[in-house]
Amino acid sequence: MITRLSTLFLRTLREDPADAEVPSHRLLVRAGYVRRVAPGVYSWLPLGLRVLRNIEAVVRREMDAIGAQEILFPALLPREPYQATGRWTEYGANLFRLRDRKGADYLLGPTHEELFTLTVKGELSSYKDYPVILYQIQTKYRDEERPRAGILRGREFLMKDSYSFDLSDQGLRHSYQLHRDAYVKIFNRLGLRYVIVSAVSGAMGGSASEEFLAEVETGEDTFVRSTESGYAANVEAVITPAPPARPVEDLPPAQVLHTPRTPTIDTLVDHLNKAGLGRTFTAADTLKNVMVKIRQPGAQDWQLLGVGIPGDREVDPKRLAASLDPADVALLDDADFAAHAFLVKGYIGPGALAAHGVRYLVDPRVVPGTAWVTGADRSDHHVVDLVCGRDFIPDGTIEAAEVRAGDPSPDGAGTLVAARGIEIGHIFQLGRKYTDAFALDALGPDGKPIRITMGCYGIGVSRLVAAIAEQSHDQHGLVWPREVAPADVHIVVAGKDETVRATGEQLAVDLDSAGVRVILDDRTATPGVKFADAELIGVPTIVVVGRGLASGVVEVKDRATAERTEVPVDGAVAHLQELCRK
Amino acid sequence: MITRLSTLFLRTLREDPADAEVPSHRLLVRAGYVRRVAPGVYSWLPLGLRVLRNIEAVVRREMDAIGAQEILFPALLPREPYQATGRWTEYGANLFRLRDRKGADYLLGPTHEELFTLTVKGELSSYKDYPVILYQIQTKYRDEERPRAGILRGREFLMKDSYSFDLSDQGLRHSYQLHRDAYVKIFNRLGLRYVIVSAVSGAMGGSASEEFLAEVETGEDTFVRSTESGYAANVEAVITPAPPARPVEDLPPAQVLHTPRTPTIDTLVDHLNKAGLGRTFTAADTLKNVMVKIRQPGAQDWQLLGVGIPGDREVDPKRLAASLDPADVALLDDADFAAHAFLVKGYIGPGALAAHGVRYLVDPRVVPGTAWVTGADRSDHHVVDLVCGRDFIPDGTIEAAEVRAGDPSPDGAGTLVAARGIEIGHIFQLGRKYTDAFALDALGPDGKPIRITMGCYGIGVSRLVAAIAEQSHDQHGLVWPREVAPADVHIVVAGKDETVRATGEQLAVDLDSAGVRVILDDRTATPGVKFADAELIGVPTIVVVGRGLASGVVEVKDRATAERTEVPVDGAVAHLQELCRK
């Protein structure tokens, strides 16, 4: 079917929408793909819906190819299953909650782990029924605090979520790998530039987890990558390479120094370098002890925790929280310090912590045999040459220090650089959190129950429209990869001459018969307006039917490269068919 | 892709679900098509989702064919547009309402008139942009008081809703006719038996309106049809044929009779027939005056209304309400009677109503020249031979009396019979209710605004799955029309013999390559279990690969007719391909 701009429900805008922060939002609105209905809630106009459906089709094809079976859950869900797993409350304000006319509690599904688990429990019973992978492409709801960037972070959005159910950890790893391979195929087909980063999991609980991030400067997610290898990871997932432990023998003894007026690491280093100790200190030689308190899930009480990191780095709150997950973590307040008088603020050292049974975790760089300048647990005093493994024994290590550009890559190749991206996919070995909650067992060959283990795997389908637009546009408009474009060819009828009009019309009809998806600009607008709209809409191939006709040619322009070719009218259909087949 | 029952996420049930009232619900659950999540909220399992998508595809094709353009609105909608049209409150308890984290009011869309109107207003401006037809196939929400019959009346359901926008009433009639024709094609392709009934519109306001009702005995909607013509109508839409008016001259004068102990029409008729008046009376000779009160939209006060209908009929509250729509209507209570002492309960006549300025509407059978027995406005007294047009002049007519089997058909051909159905489609000339509310105008050729007129048109897509199942099943299970079936051919591998298995497998592969959609029952279950499941699942063609192989044949069974044919293995693919093409 030919899409005629004379009747298409489309109005392009010359001006950027006032609330648009990022290019995809700006262009998807200007080109008439989406319209805002409420914060984070959008309508899809005809061209936008086509792109969305094209992406959906790619996702569906690759999911079917790994034997995943499509089902469809409602978005309106009863409270009970989410109550059973604790997510009714855990989700906090992110959950849209409502009551029906009888006063029963419902929610709009943010993810469907509970429903998938219960449904499998309802249908399957024997070990012979496993493994199974189920998926849906379905509308989800999250009451984001700050919906932003149009459809990039919406409150109503389309997701593909799949779940694998396996009898064993080995089976789960296989299902995980199937998804990983399928995701690579999907994102490659969609023409995306992306990285796969190690991720730590959020509220979902579990172990192995990777994120697919589309590389976009305006992305919300930060990650680091190696300058030399393919290594990439969420900042939360970066493992600090630890230096080898060194022997503690023959190291100088620790000595306590009077260090007045050294409230900061810088002033302390400065003081030490002027103290005539015969060597030069840097901030990296100091050990900063940050006091926090943590509370395990379900626990009432907070526990003190000391976190020791090299003084040249700050604590990264996200890395600290990820390392301590699922426990809550908070900095100590004045009341906490008052309650623990042995904590000499500004001069806390490992000694007082050990003496009072406070757990003490250190940065992985703090290995046995390393010597540190740190607090002496006495006002205005620090200790120098305090040796790990000799003068103090930490209770373990923790990834809490910030990751910096230039840090060595954990895989040993190159150094790390920071980058930004948009999360477009997430794969996750969820384990038995939900199967435990709902007692999902298979009856084994020996008649004994086998607790099922799960994986969960998401793709942000509507977000992908924006992610692709973010990566694929220029100053004139959108530049769609052919696989997702709302059409293959955009014919601009440039001129009011009857021959021009009739030729454009015939070309559209012939291309349509040949299975090429055509937009025909048959409006009465000026060629200038039509060219601008063609660039803005971003179909991969633009054909101009106009002055060239005098010499029997039409102009074929590649939207991405701006390359122009003159093609004889007679051979245009064959030429374009060939282009679209690529 | 071959659907293998050995791995398909499907468990058929031998027992009917406890809550199933109607065959479609029973069978869709037993055959593993849908599962209940909450009252009126269902999940679609793989086979059910396929049927749903097949129906969706038929609907989409025919909508596209009339030039309708597909868009997609969110389900989560802000309150404001619905506030503007009054529907935020009018919908009452049927509307799912919720608040977001910032306290803003939202609803889950029950229909999208407001959004469509606002979107068209946002995009179009000139008369040249019209007419336009937009549609979506989208999940809708209604908090039904009594969700019932599985997916037949759910609270979350899939609908196709389209809206036409025209410059003139004539344009609207054309858009309406386009939809009517498309609906006929859609429901014919889906193999449905249905009638198109004249309907009066409910809360949506407007004029011409027809419903498509699938004829099903268990249906919720009642309608009447002619025994002889194609006439069919909602009971609310039946127009009572009026007899011709007669001259009032020469009719006997009215006389008031003492009629003690005649509390009912029967006792009154009995009394009259024993009163020696020289003729025989029936209930149809009496005129029963029912007092109601009505309140116009937005009004504070109730107004009295007298409704006169022949005494052999009851008032049908739905017909009464439809006739008075959009006003509210209620029966008088004791306090009302007390406040209006001129109303002599049981003996109310036209006289007192006229004397006190009470509006009085009568059944269309009450034409000038007809003589009635009715109340004399005096306890224990009735009046005989009170002639319409001579002794009383009604303020108009009203369709309030019940419609009965045997009543003459309004089109003059045959009499009416009652029938039941399921509403599967509704087309409606909505007019300017929403374009007035949002001031949707097009700029006319003369520079003057033209108020747009709308039509709205719905198809219950998920309900159609149930409606088809209701019409197409037998005691063994579902019987899908090929167009919507989850597969074309269901191969039963009946036997554990390796040749049987390999032949079934090869047949499945060959059919799949030939573009035939195949379910292969490759489970280890007994042939009996497999046959039963094949019947239950209801794919149109069942192929049994089993004992016949010894003589080189497979058995091809038509699910609907139960006709069996033996087909040589070699020719099976060609034979089945031919079957599926029909």
Q: Does domain A487-581 have CATH number 3.40.50.2000?
A: no
Q: Would the pLDDT of A202 be above 70? A: no
Least confident of A23-37, A81-95, B54-68, B306-320: A81-95
Q: Any alpha helices (H) in A31-78, and if so which ranges? A: 46-65
Could you check whether the bond before residue B326 is cis, i.e. omega within 30 degrees of 0? yes
User: What is the spatial distance between Cα A51 and Cα A479, in angstroms, rounded to a whole number?
Assistant: 12
Least confident of A66-80, A465-479, B214-228, B373-387: B214-228
Q: Would the pLDDT of B199 be above 80? A: no
Residue range B223-241: average pLDDT?
87
Q: B97 or B1: which carries more pLDDT confidence?
A: B97
User: What is the spatial distance between Cα B86 and Cα B75, in angstroms, rounded to a whole number?
Assistant: 19
CB contact under 8 A, B100 and A155: yes
pLDDT at B213: 93
Give the alpha-carbon dihedral of B269, B274, B277, B281, to 10 degrees: 30
Helix (H) or strand (E) holding A347: none
Q: Is the overall model pTM greater than 0.90, yes or no?
A: no
Q: Would the pLDDT of B200 be above 80? A: no
- Where does the pLDDT of residue B217 fall: very low under 50, low under 70, confident under 90, or very high at 90 and above? confident
pLDDT single digits (tens) B265-307: 899 999 989 888 888 999 999 999 999 999 988 788 999 999 9
- Where does the pLDDT of residue A236 fall: very low under 50, low under 70, confident under 90, or very high at 90 and above? confident
Evaluated on CA atoms B468, B469, B474, B477, the torsion sign reads positive
Looking at chain B, the domain(s) classified CATH 3.90.960.10 span 255-397
State the best of A6, A9, A105 to mutate against chain B, taking most chain B CBs within 10 Å.
A9
pLDDT single digits (tens) A434-447: 999 999 999 999 99
E strand map for A156-208: 156-166, 194-198
Whether B98 and A96 have beta carbons less than 8 Å apart is answered as yes
CB contact under 8 A, B101 and A108: no
The whole-chain average pLDDT of chain B stands at 92
Tokens representing B499 are 């040749």
Give the alpha-carbon dihedral of B536, B538, B541, B542, to 10 degrees: -20
The CA-to-CA distance between both ends of chain A, in Å, stands at 21
Looking at chain B, the domain(s) classified CATH 3.30.930.10 span 18-238+418-470
Q: Would the pLDDT of B79 be above 50? A: yes
CB contact under 8 A, B119 and A10: no
A100 shares contact with chain B (CB less than 8 Å): yes
Residue range B349-374: average pLDDT?
94
Q: How long a stretch of residues is chain A? A: 582
Taking CB atoms and an 8 Å cutoff, what residues of chain A touch B76? 38, 41, 96, 108, 141, 155-156
CATH code that applies to domain A17-73+110-237+418-470? 3.30.930.10
In chain B, whose CA is at the least distance from the CA of A125? B11
State the best of B6, B36, B100 to mutate against chain A, taking most chain A CBs within 10 Å.
B100
pLDDT single digits (tens) A131-144: 999 999 999 999 99
Q: Which residues pair with B134 in a beta bridge?
A: B69, B163
pLDDT single digits (tens) A520-570: 999 999 999 999 999 999 999 999 999 899 899 999 999 999 999 999 999
Whether B139 and B154 have beta carbons less than 8 Å apart is answered as no
Q: Would the pLDDT of A104 be above 80? A: yes
- Where does the pLDDT of residue A205 fall: very low under 50, low under 70, confident under 90, or very high at 90 and above? very low
CB contact under 8 A, A75 and B8: no
Looking at chain A, the domain(s) classified CATH 3.40.50.800 span 487-581
Q: With a CB-CB cutoff of 8 Å, which residues 145-164 of chain B face chain A?
A: 145, 155-156
In chain B, whose CA is at the least distance from the CA of A126? B11
pLDDT at A198: 81
Q: Any alpha helices (H) in A325-440, and if so which ranges? A: 334-339, 350-355, 433-437
Three-class secondary structure of residue A186 per DSSP: helix
The whole-chain average pLDDT of chain A stands at 92
Q: Would the pLDDT of B379 be above 70? A: yes
Residue B72 DSSP label: B
- Where does the pLDDT of residue A582 fall: very low under 50, low under 70, confident under 90, or very high at 90 and above? low
Residue whose tokens read 């079957």: B579
Q: Would the pLDDT of B58 be above 90? A: yes
Taking CB atoms and an 8 Å cutoff, what residues of chain B touch A77? 37-38, 41
pLDDT at A346: 86
pLDDT at B402: 93
Give per-residue burial for B87-116: e unless 16+ CB within 10 Å, then b.
bbeebeeebbbbebeeeeebbbbbbbbbbb
Where does residue B302 rank: exposed (0-12), middle (13-18), buried (19+ CB within 10 A)? Answer: middle
pLDDT at A93: 86
CATH of B255-397, one of 3.90.960.10, 3.40.50.300, 3.40.50.720, 3.90.1300.10: 3.90.960.10
CATH code that applies to domain B18-238+418-470? 3.30.930.10
User: What is the spatial distance between Cα B416 and Cα B362, in angstroms, rounded to a whole number?
Assistant: 22
CB contact under 8 A, B70 and A10: no
Distances (CA, A) of B347 to A34, A104, B17, B294: 66, 49, 53, 21
pLDDT at B21: 82
pLDDT at A204: 41
Whether B217 and B420 have beta carbons less than 8 Å apart is answered as yes
Three-class secondary structure of residue B537 per DSSP: helix
Q: Would the pLDDT of A126 be above 60? A: yes
- Where does the pLDDT of residue B149 fall: very low under 50, low under 70, confident under 90, or very high at 90 and above? confident
CB contact under 8 A, B74 and A124: no
Q: Which residues pair with B136 in a beta bridge?
A: B161
Of A35, A93, A100, the CB nearest to B101: A93
Of A74, A100, A141, the CB nearest to B37: A74
pLDDT at B147: 82
* Whole-complex ipTM: 0.85
Cα-based angle A140, A43, B204 (whole degrees, multiple of 5): 100
pLDDT single digits (tens) B261-271: 888 889 999 99
User: What is the spatial distance between Cα A338 and Cα B359, in angstroms, rounded to a whole number?
Assistant: 84
User: What is the spatial distance between Cα B328 and Cα B527, in angstroms, rounded to a whole number?
Assistant: 62
- Where does the pLDDT of residue B446 fall: very low under 50, low under 70, confident under 90, or very high at 90 and above? very high
Distance (Å) from the alpha carbon of A71 to chain B's nearest alpha carbon: 5
Helix (H) or strand (E) holding A521: strand A518-521
Q: Would the pLDDT of B505 be above 60? A: yes
Distance (Å) from the alpha carbon of A357 to chain B's nearest alpha carbon: 42
Three-class secondary structure of residue A134 per DSSP: strand
Residue B527 makes CB contacts below 8 A (sequence gap 6+) with B492, B494, B495, B546
Looking at chain A, the domain(s) classified CATH 3.30.930.10 span 17-73+110-237+418-470
pLDDT at A207: 56
Distances (CA, A) of A301 to A333, A341, A450, B111: 15, 19, 36, 51
Q: Would the pLDDT of A495 be above 90? A: no
CB contact under 8 A, A76 and B145: no
